[in-house]
């Protein structure tokens, strides 16, 4: 079974990627755990309640359902969940299980991080994005009215169970948005994964078992490796932000309504690829391969009406901004990255303008 270790100063645990991994759940519940609380959304729960219950193998548990959606990813929701836990007899020995997309795993992780100053959490991500990104790494949190993910905590899970079978029911648009993040992993750290996007994109789009499992496992491996080297995003973890500098600006400029996160990252990756080429890091043929690979995953809503000047102004406000200068993750080829700041504004402007056409 492909198992990837995460070893950070605060915790050591495994991310397991395997078809049917959900069925192993009971074996990962610590014998001394008290009440178990599964946090999920009604759609996921309706689809997978029976499989989840079977995976608990007769062990008693409670379900805490919340509506889902970015507007519900709020502290107030966490408080409601904590009250529900207490009402059902939770204490310091309780265990939380996040069972859903990235919104669920972020909120369930945050709930676990602060409930009675911290109880353990097991993450079972059910979207492609959450399987390759949100579910691994211990970043948890909620949105403020002023911005996304502005409150939160690092809280590493006991284990991450990643079951590609759960993706069969994922809507196509959500799936493609996740694929863009998988492609990102290939570009930053795995030429082999990148090659799958160049040579067999249709097999990924059809969700064929073998290439999909490889793509998820490779992305999870990379995330585990990077998080192990840099738990709190001081150095190496920043390479995971490839495509995110401009991607975040596009999400903010469209009020988080037009694009799914992965779609905005796809446009942001195009900008990063253009900058990499314009600054002499990335040869034209490799840049063309990368741009073709992005387009092969699927179309994203048009960005041609967005103002390049507004997007560039937003770049300066990105929370990843350090010491006043905008950082870009650039590439010189699959598996090769570099974090660069202080780029000439004209280069950024030209790259953004080309990317959103």
Please identify which residue in 16, 94, 101, 264 interacts with ligand NAD, judged by CB under 6 A.
Answer: 101
Catalytic residue chosen out of the listed positions 139, 238, 274, 281:
139
Contact status, residue 356 vs residue 319, Cβ threshold 8 Å:
no
- Give the interface segment with ligand NAD, choosing from 43-51, 59-67, 297-305, 317-325 (CB under 6 A): 43-51
188 contacts ligand NAD (rule: CB under 6 A): no
Rounded to a whole number of angstroms, the minimum distance from the CB of residue 173 to ligand NAD is 9
Task: Pick out residues in 124-163 that bind ligand NAD (CB under 6 A).
Answer: 126-127, 129-130, 133-134, 137, 139, 148-149
Place of tokens 């840099």: 230
Q: Which of the residues 73, 223, 274, 277 is marked catalytic?
A: 223
| DSSP H/E element including 277 | helix 261-278
| Contact call for residues 13 and 158 (beta carbons, < 8 A) | yes
User: What would the x/- binding string for ligand NAD be over residues 61 to 90, using CB under 6 A?
Assistant: -------x-x--x-----------------
- Stated as kind and residue range, the H or E segment containing 202 is helix 201-205
User: CA 193 to CA 170: how far, in whole Å?
Assistant: 22
Question: Which one of 28, 184, 237, 314 is the catalytic residue?
Answer: 237
Smallest distance from ligand NAD to CB 122, Å: 15
Q: Please, which residue, 162 or 337, has the CB nearer to ligand NAD? A: 162
Compute the 3-state secondary structure of the chain and give helix, strand, coil in percent, each to the nearest 5: 50, 20, 30
Distance of alpha carbon 322 from alpha carbon 119, whole angstroms: 33
The radius of gyration of the chain from alpha carbons, rounded to an integer in Å, stands at: 20
**Secondary structure letter of residue 72 according to DSSP:** G
Instruction: Point out the catalytic residue in the list 18, 65, 77, 181.
Output: 181
The tokens describing 117, both together, are 């100053």
SS3 97: strand
Q: Which stretch binds ligand NAD (CB under 6 A): 39-47, 212-220, 293-301, 308-316?
A: 39-47
Residues engaged in binding ligand NAD (CB under 6 A): 41, 43-44, 47, 68, 70, 73, 100-104, 106, 126-127, 129-130, 133-134, 137, 139, 148-149, 166, 169-170, 174, 261
């Amino acid at each position: 079974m492909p198992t990837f270790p995460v070893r950070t100063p605060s915790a050591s645990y495994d991310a397991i990627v395997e078809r049917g991994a959900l069925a192993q759940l009971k074996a990962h519940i610590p014998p001394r755990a008290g009440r178990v609380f599964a946090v999920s959304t009604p759609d996921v729960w309706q689809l997978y309640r029976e499989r989840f219950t079977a995976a608990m193998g007769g062990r008693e548990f409670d379900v805490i359902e919340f509506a889902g959606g970015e507007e519900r990813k709020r502290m107030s929701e966490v408080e409601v969940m904590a009250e529900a836990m207490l009402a059902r007899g939770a204490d310091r020995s309780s265990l939380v299980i996040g069972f859903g997309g990235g919104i669920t795993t972020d909120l369930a992780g945050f709930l676990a991080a602060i409930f009675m100053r911290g109880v353990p959490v097991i993450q079972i991500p059910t979207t492609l994005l959450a399987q390759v990104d949100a579910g691994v790494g211990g970043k948890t949190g909620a949105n403020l009215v002023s911005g996304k993910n502005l409150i939160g905590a690092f809280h590493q899970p006991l284990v991450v169970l990643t079951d590609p079978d759960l993706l069969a029911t994922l809507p196509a648009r959500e799936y493609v948005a996740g694929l863009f993040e998988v492609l990102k992993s290939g570009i930053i750290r795995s030429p082999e994964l990148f090659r799958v996007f160049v040579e067999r994109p249709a097999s990924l789009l059809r969700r064929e078992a073998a290439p999909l499992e490889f793509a998820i496992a490779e992305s999870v491996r990379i995330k585990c490796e990077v998080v192990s080297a840099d738990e709190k995003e001081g150095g190496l973890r920043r390479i995971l932000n490839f495509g995110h500098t401009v991607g975040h600006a596009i999400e903010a400029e469209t009020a988080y309504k037009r694009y799914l996160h992965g779609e905005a990252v796809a446009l942001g990756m195009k900008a990063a690829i253009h900058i990499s080429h314009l600054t002499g890091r990335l040869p034209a043929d490799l840049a063309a391969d990368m741009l073709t690979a992005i387009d092969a995953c699927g179309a994203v809503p048009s960005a041609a009406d967005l103002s390049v000047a507004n997007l560039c102004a937003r770049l300066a406000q990105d929370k990843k901004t350090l010491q006043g200068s905008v950082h870009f993750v650039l590439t010189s080829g699959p598996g090769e990255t570099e974090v660069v700041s202080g780029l000439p504004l004209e280069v950024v402007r030209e790259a953004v303008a080309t990317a959103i056409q």
